[in-house]
Amino acid sequence: MVIAVLATAAGAQQPAPFSHGNAKTGKTLAERDCVACHEQKFKPASAIYTRTERRVTSASQLLTQVQVCNTELRAGYFPEDEENVAAFLNDTYYKFKP
């Protein structure tokens, strides 16, 4: 009983993934920088997020993938920009919980 209460209390304190991210700002960045690259591989570009063989299966992997794309595209995002994009993608497609 005590363990269950402690586990519940610990879980309640976890912030939502990308709680510091701004999904609206992330959407603007994603539309500007991500769509053209994704359209080279997927039609429509959003299919990269909804395919059955997803590479990204957790919030931490999503942020890592955004960081990889930032580097590959040389987009010049700051860490907060990466979190904004990840927040948008999570809110729109992934729905990862804490």
- pLDDT the model gives residue 16: 79
Q: Which residue has the higher pLDDT, 80 or 3?
A: 80
CB 17, CB 23: distance < 8 Å: no
Q: What is the average per-residue pLDDT within 63-74?
A: 96
Per-residue tokens: 74? 């040389």
CB 91, CB 23: distance < 8 Å: yes
Q: What is the average per-residue pLDDT within 4-15?
A: 54
The reported pTM is 0.82
- pLDDT the model gives residue 3: 54
Query: Cβ atoms within 10 A of the Cβ of 78, count?
Result: 9
Three-point CA angle 57, 33, 25, nearest 5°: 80
Domains, the chain, ranges and CATH? 21-94 (1.10.760)
Per-residue tokens: 56? 């990204």
Chain segment 38-51, per-residue pLDDT in tens = 888 888 888 888 88
